[in-house]
Structure 1
Amino acid sequence: MNSYHLRRKRKLNIVLIGYRCSGKTSVGSGLAARVDRPFFDTDELVQRIAGKSVEGLVTEGGWELFRRMETLAIREAVAFDGGIIATGGGSVLDPDNVRRMKANGWVIWLKADPEVVKSRMAKDEESGKVRPSLTDRGSLEEIRSVVELRSRIYEAAADFSIDTRMKTVDEVADEIEAAMPELIRKKSSWQETP
């Protein structure tokens, strides 16, 4: 059997991108359970690889060290076929990460307004989840600034996008599940082109 036929039999990954607190982990884990696929969270993989929390890693070596570990985590996650992968918000800043994500998967951008992100982050903080600051600005100002900078990158990387602003986790998962057959068909055709 030649490689053309082997590629056709691969199950594509579903890779979720977007700013922190856009719903990637919640949607991804729920969707994976629904469609019986493995779930990978690259932040969790980073913590396993580094043996430290994201906050501890950033405190120790800065965002540069975290991004290097994140690249290793992405390589590990995309090596599987048919996974649902929730990525870190900055994973798309490295073009090689995006290339890897798209090589055996389709990339979905989960969009959220800065105000929604801030509200979700506040809920995370109440539950004890700490997210290291990306800049030296205040939280809403930082979110607006970083979302504005990254939006073009997310858009360029994405095969499909969903606005999560007024939707529940289940509603977003419903949209992805409904789109899967068509997106997989399109992506499979793209991969099969000699």
Structure 2
Amino acid sequence: MQTHNLILTGFRATGKTSVGRIVATRLHWIFLDTDELARQRLGAPIAEVVARHGWPFFRAAESQLLQDLATMQQTVLATGGGAIEHLREWRELRRGALVVWLDADSDTIRRRLRHDPASGHQRPSLTGQPIADEIEHLLERRRPMYAAGSDLRLSTEGRSPEELAAEIVQTMHNL
């Protein structure tokens, strides 16, 4: 398989950005984070955009961003947790890319979100439900999508970003 990109997918707080930065450095590739790119394009944090315009507006902007990124080369892309739901765009984005699903159980995700001071403004509620219910509901819905839309699943539980990055780089070298 000829890979010219690496795409990291998974639920929020699974380490996509941390791992992605390390992999990009090791491969001497560009690193991009779709949440950061969306924030730059929209001129405000995601939570603010969602509060003003709603999730459908943000998801439409995210869809366009994914379409625009489909021609990237030698890029490590950390995607937002919901990017996998853009099925048509996802198919285009993953052509010639290795897609790695960084997975964690709901307790681990909840703990990471609780300890991340940036979660409130970077990761707005998706459903309006209490965080524990939201995580369970969304994981149940998205796990089949992550599985179908990925080439490799890595559990992030008990593993450092450096360990995960080393495994991903090794996998890429073995392709």
Q: Are residues 1:117 and 2:133 paired?
A: no
Deviation of residue 100 (structure 1)? 1.9
Q: Which amino acid aligns with 2:61?
A: M
What residue is the counterpart of 1:105 in the other structure?
97
What residue is the counterpart of 1:80 in the other structure?
72
CA distance in 2, matches of 1:21, 1:97: 23
Structure having the higher helix fraction is 1
Matches within 5 A, 1:3-152: 12-125=4-117, 129-152=121-144
What is the aligned counterpart of 1:180 among 161, 172, 175?
172
Moved over 6 A (4+): none
CA distance in 2, matches of 1:149, 1:128: 23
Deviation of residue 43 (structure 1)? 0.5
Unaligned 5+ segments in structure 2 are none
How big is each residue's C-alpha offset from its partner over 1:109-165, in whole Å with a ceiling of 9 and x where there is no partner?
000111111111112236865421011221112111111110000000001110001
Deviation of residue 41 (structure 1)? 0.2
User: What fraction of aligned residue pairs are identical, expressed as a percent?
Assistant: 33
Bigger radius of gyration among the two: 1
Deviation of residue 77 (structure 1)? 3.0
CA distance in 2, matches of 1:167, 1:101: 27
- TM-score normalised by the chain length of structure 2: 0.93
The alignment yields a C-alpha RMSD, in angstroms, of 1.8
CA distance in 2, matches of 1:11, 1:51: 32
Q: Which amino acid aligns with 2:150?
A: A
Q: Which amino acid aligns with 2:73?
A: D
Unaligned 5+ segments in structure 1 are 1-7, 186-194
What residue is the counterpart of 1:161 in the other structure?
153
Q: Identify the range of structure 1 (155-164 vs 140-149) with the bigger mean alpha-carbon deviation.
A: 140-149
Aligned residues: 175
CA distance in 2, matches of 1:176, 1:42: 20
What residue is the counterpart of 1:170 in the other structure?
162
- TM-score normalised by the chain length of structure 1: 0.84
| Contact residue 156 and residue 164 of structure 2 kept, 8 A | yes
CA distance in 1, matches of 2:82, 2:93: 13
| Contact residue 109 and residue 160 of structure 1 kept, 8 A | yes
Deviation of residue 11 (structure 1)? 5.3
Deviation of residue 34 (structure 1)? 1.5
